[in-house]
Amino acid sequence: MSLDIIYHSRRISEAKIRKKFVPEFGEENCRFHATTASKSSYDIALEVINGGGRTLIACGGDGTLNEVANAILDMQIKEGIEGIRIGVLPVGTANDFVKSANISKDPRKLKELIDSNSVFQMDVGLLTHNKVTHYFINAMDAGMGADAIGNVQSMPRWIGGKSAYKLGIVKSLMTYKNRRMRLVLDGEVVDGFFRMVIVSNGRFIGEGHCVA
């Protein structure tokens, strides 16, 4: 079985990602694709699928996983391509989805799942903004949480993991002002000023903060 491994090149080098996969799966079964810019995981995943790839492994954080999943869903829904599977090996800044799904960082566990054909379906969220559709696996956040993510993404590479999220949250706590939002929940309209609104498919956001 061929694996197309899409990895976040700012978080892990090609040499390190090869050390995780080649001993378990073999060089001949692995194709490595490095991200080159923000959101490039989506474009890479589209190219892989168009080239016949059907088992994609997202190696990064929640952002990498979400981009690869969006590419898969777009190809399934818009192009009718079925039989695409996604696996996860978390190596990124935030790994909140894997906490809810109890996914291991050990590549040997990933191999066991692939060898045993352990596949499960799950719900995804759907967000439409300015006529653009986007799916989310873990959570959608409007307000201070999204502002904090923007702070994290603007930080230097050497600030990673929990430190980046703590600093991003602290900055937002100091500077973010509540925004007026209009929510429609099961037909009921709620209009007011909110600090944060979360639609959660997983249990955790912001590097381990439990919200559901």
pLDDT of residue 58: 96
pLDDT of residue 161: 66
Amino acid making up residue 124: V
Q: Cα dist. 23→13, 20, 27, 29, 167 in Å?
A: 16, 7, 8, 11, 37
Of 87, 82, 105, 85, whose CA–CA distance to 95 is shortest?
105
pLDDT of residue 207: 73
pLDDT of residue 27: 95
pLDDT of residue 93: 65
Owner of token pair 């090149």:
9
Give the dihedral of Cα atoms 212, 88, 158, 19; nearest 10 deg: 150
CA angle (45, 99, 198) in 5-degree steps: 80
**Contact assessment for residue 107 and residue 24, using Cβ atoms and an 8 Å cutoff:** yes
**Residues 74-128 pLDDT 10s:** 999 989 999 999 999 998 667 889 998 889 999 999 999 999 988 888 899 998 8
Residue 158, Cβ density class (10 Å: 0-12 exposed, 13-18 middle, ≥19 buried)? exposed
**Residues 115-146 pLDDT 10s:** 998 888 889 999 888 888 899 999 988 889 88
Mean pLDDT of the chain: 89
* Exposure of 135 in the CB half-sphere (CA atoms within 13 A): 19
Q: What percent of the chain has pLDDT above 70? A: 97
State the Cα–Cα distance between residues 134 and 157, nearest whole angstrom.
27
**Residues 40-52 pLDDT 10s:** 999 999 999 999 9
